[in-house]
A = this chain, B = another copy of it.
Amino acid sequence: MAKVNVGPNAFGYPMPMSLVGTMVEGRPNFMAAAWVSRVNPSPPMMAVAIGKSHATNTGIKQQGSFSINFPGVDLIKATDYCGLVSGKKTDKSKVFEVYYGQLETAPLIAACPFGLECRLIDTVELPIDDLFIGEIVAAYTEEKYMTEGSLDVRLMKPFLLTMPDNRYWAVGEVVGKAWQDGRDLRG
């Protein structure tokens, strides 16, 4: 073992790429975000960290809702575009076909295989980012992304982001079964 401290900003683990949907000045807006995670099992909640300067933050605070859409690899260009241009300067409402769920103020992306509709529960103010915590009120997919009634990653084809090398990665093969593979170590 020869551990080196590469500094607190070096981190290379893959994060799931998403598009956060909000209403900005009355129109649907989407920004690319990868700092996103589940945070509570019941009621199911998500957290997403977004720099305070973004138009998305104003939209979430005004509407009290947001969506988290998980694009497939066919949407890499469009997703990346949404991370390059600001909703403050650019109308991104025509980039995707949009639909609405129960909340009516959380625009969802039709082309994304999986989308979560979230009601804002709490906002944790961090030095640069707002950490938005939302309760998932609905999760949308299509039959074509499911196998035997369950979401199938192989069909959804999500992609991941690593920073600071700024690469997108596909999901690879199944390499194990959770809450099972470690059983024989219990002794």
Contact = CB atoms under 8 A, between A and B. Distances in A.
Interface of A: 1-16, 18, 35-45, 47, 49, 51, 70, 73, 76-85, 97, 99, 101, 108, 110, 114-116, 122, 124, 126-129, 131, 133, 135-143, 146, 150-153, 156, 158-186
Contacts of A181: 76-77, 80, 168
Nearest to A42: B128
A186 B84 contact: yes
Contacts of A185: 77-78, 81
B138 A8 contact: yes
A71 to B, nearest CB: 10
A57 to B, nearest CB: 14
B124 A133 contact: yes
Given A47-B131, A160-B171, A76 B3 contact: no
Given A8-B116, A11-B38, A168-B176, 15 more contacts: A1-B110, A12-B156, A15-B37, A35-B38, A37-B49, A41-B128, A41-B129, A73-B176, A80-B183, A122-B124, A124-B133, A131-B133, A163-B178, A170-B175, A172-B172
Contacts of A186: 81, 84-85
Contacts of A110: 1, 3
Contact of A84 (B78, B124, B183): B183
Given A81-B182, A172-B170, A39 B49 contact: yes
Given A142-B4, A168-B177, A39 B35 contact: yes
A152 B169 CA distance: 12
A4 B143 contact: yes
A169 B153 contact: yes
